[in-house]
Amino acid sequence: MFQFRKIFGERIIKTGISTFITALLCIWLGLSPIFAVITAIVTIEPTAKASLKKAYVRFPASVIGAFIAVVSLYFFGETALTYSLAATLTILITYRLKLHDGVLVAAITAVAMIPSVQDDYLYHFLTRLATTTIGLTTSTVINYLILPPKYVERIKELATFSKKEIQQLFQRRVKELMDGKLQSARSDKRYKEIQKTMTQAEQLLEYQQDEYSYHRSKDEGLRHLNEIQKELQFIKIYLTYVGNLIYIPRDLELEFNSKELGILEKVLPLIKEDMSGLDIEHPVLEELSECIQELDEEEVYKSHLLNEIIILFRTLISHDRTTEVTNEKEDRA
């Protein structure tokens, strides 16, 4: 099963199982499986909680879609206007009723019903509602019972990757400042890419929290997830600090003197993946502090940049001494 999950992914496997069981049930009951299968495909969610929660919305939305299709067909027959009215009214009404998660299922149900309904409108309405219900129920049950999501390792990978990328960005940005490059499109682009990675990690964290809250998980799993959440929060703060070195006023004129450049040159090799072995009062940081004290009053922004570097280092040193989430791979090496 592990190999199947690795090759296809949990969601694809669950969709395949759900559509198979849905079609099997419909055929056994003598019903057309097409609507049920469509519903099963579009209602598989990342977590069981999301699937169950949205099922309460999708069922009434499907009822609305089926009803609008039948009424439109009764008055206008199978015409282009019928398709347009069924789709438009279904979307409008479900939105008005705030059934947002059921809009897609309702619209598909409404439009797909039109070419298959004959004279017995009530029978076809009830039949389509039954098949849609089968698809919705099957996908929800499968999502709850089969292959519960396990995002923890993926979240940790994204967190470790993001932290490493931020440190590389930190090192690059210090070098750019030393070279007098106050504005950098390259660093700006990388910063935004890391932000996207962090957003993905936070989304997966939310999915996993939902899953844990619905399935009674062990306290150990919840504690570990809490540690990962704290790590993601720290990485976001870390990225913000580095962003303070990237987003500098465009009209700023700033140049480091030879002494300051010499100290910053010593800083570069210290920026590495694990800072837990460094002293929070490292001599280089003390030298930077002395440089700040020697600055004139008008050199406020230079003082700000040097101080940001000191804060970044001390924050990383303190953090890397206590975290296990993003340093686990190094510990196992």
Q: For residues 300 and 187, state if they share a domain.
A: yes
Amino acid 246: pLDDT = 92
Show contacts of 291-300: CB within 8 Å, 24+ apart: 291/259, 291/260, 291/263
Contact (CB, 8 A) for 316 and 238: yes
Terminal C-alpha separation, the chain? 28
Length of the chain (residues): 333
Contact (CB, 8 A) for 226 and 212: no
Amino acid 1: pLDDT = 44
pLDDT interval class at 315 (50, 70, 90): confident
Check whether 40 has a pLDDT greater than 90.
no
- Out of 21-30, 33-42, 164-173, pick the least confident: 33-42
DSSP-assigned letters across all residues of 39-66: HHHHT--SSHHHHHHHHHHHHHHHHHHH
Q: For residues 99 and 209, state if they share a domain.
A: no
Considering its fold, how many domains does the chain have in total?
A: 2
Residue where the block lists tokens 């700006």: 188
Tell me which DSSP letter residue 180 carries.
T
Average pLDDT of the chain, as a whole number = 83
Q: For residues 175 and 315, state if they share a domain.
A: yes
Whole-prediction pTM value?
0.71
333 domain-assigned: no
**Tokens representing 319?**
């953090």
Q: For residues 163 and 291, state if they share a domain.
A: yes
Amino acid 216: pLDDT = 56
Check whether 46 has a pLDDT greater than 60.
yes
Last residue of a domain, one of 102, 120, 145: 145
310 domain-assigned: yes
| 258-292 residue pLDDT tens | 888 898 888 888 887 567 777 778 888 888 888 88
Between CA 82 and CA 68 the distance in angstroms is 10
Residue where the block lists tokens 């009723």: 97
208 domain-assigned: yes
16 domain-assigned: yes
Domain coverage including residue 165: 152-328
pLDDT interval class at 214 (50, 70, 90): low
- Out of 3-17, 61-75, 113-127, pick the least confident: 3-17
Q: For residues 114 and 249, state if they share a domain.
A: no
Contacts of 198 (CB under 8 A, 6+ apart): 158, 162, 232, 235, 236, 239
Tell me which DSSP letter residue 146 carries.
S
Between CA 82 and CA 88 the distance in angstroms is 10
Check whether 17 has a pLDDT greater than 60.
yes
Between CA 257 and CA 4 the distance in angstroms is 60
Amino acid 24: pLDDT = 93
Q: For residues 172 and 241, state if they share a domain.
A: yes
pLDDT interval class at 64 (50, 70, 90): very high
Check whether 310 has a pLDDT greater than 80.
yes
Amino acid 328: pLDDT = 55
C-alpha 322 chain-centroid distance: 26
Last residue of a domain, one of 97, 126, 145: 145
**pLDDT winner (highest mean) among 33-47, 167-181, 312-326:** 167-181
Contact (CB, 8 A) for 209 and 46: no
Between CA 189 and CA 301 the distance in angstroms is 23
Q: For residues 11 and 91, state if they share a domain.
A: yes
312 domain-assigned: yes
Contact (CB, 8 A) for 202 and 42: no
Q: For residues 175 and 238, state if they share a domain.
A: yes
Between CA 19 and CA 139 the distance in angstroms is 8
**What is the 3-state secondary structure of 181-242?**
CCCCHHHHHHHHHHHHHHHHHHHHHHHHHHHHHHCCCCHHHHHHHHHHHHHHHHHHHHHHHH
pLDDT interval class at 250 (50, 70, 90): confident
23 domain-assigned: yes
Q: For residues 271 and 195, state if they share a domain.
A: yes
Q: For residues 69 and 116, state if they share a domain.
A: yes
Check whether 107 has a pLDDT greater than 70.
yes
Last residue of a domain, one of 102, 127, 145: 145
Contact (CB, 8 A) for 23 and 38: no
Please give the residue that has the higher pLDDT: either 161 or 74: 161
Check whether 333 has a pLDDT greater than 60.
no
Amino acid 329: pLDDT = 43
275 domain-assigned: yes
Check whether 35 has a pLDDT greater than 50.
yes
Amino acid 332: pLDDT = 36
Backbone angles phi, psi at 120, to 5 degrees: -80, 85
Among candidate residues 31, 28, 122, 15, the one with its CA nearest the CA of residue 71: 122
Check whether 101 has a pLDDT greater than 80.
yes
Between CA 112 and CA 246 the distance in angstroms is 53
Contact (CB, 8 A) for 150 and 222: no
Q: For residues 131 and 210, state if they share a domain.
A: no
| 151-207 residue pLDDT tens | 888 899 999 999 999 999 999 999 998 888 888 999 999 999 999 999 999 988 888
Helix, strand, coil percentages (3-state) for the chain, rounded to 5, are: 80, 0, 20
12 domain-assigned: yes
Q: For residues 23 and 84, state if they share a domain.
A: yes
Please give the residue that has the higher pLDDT: either 200 or 124: 200
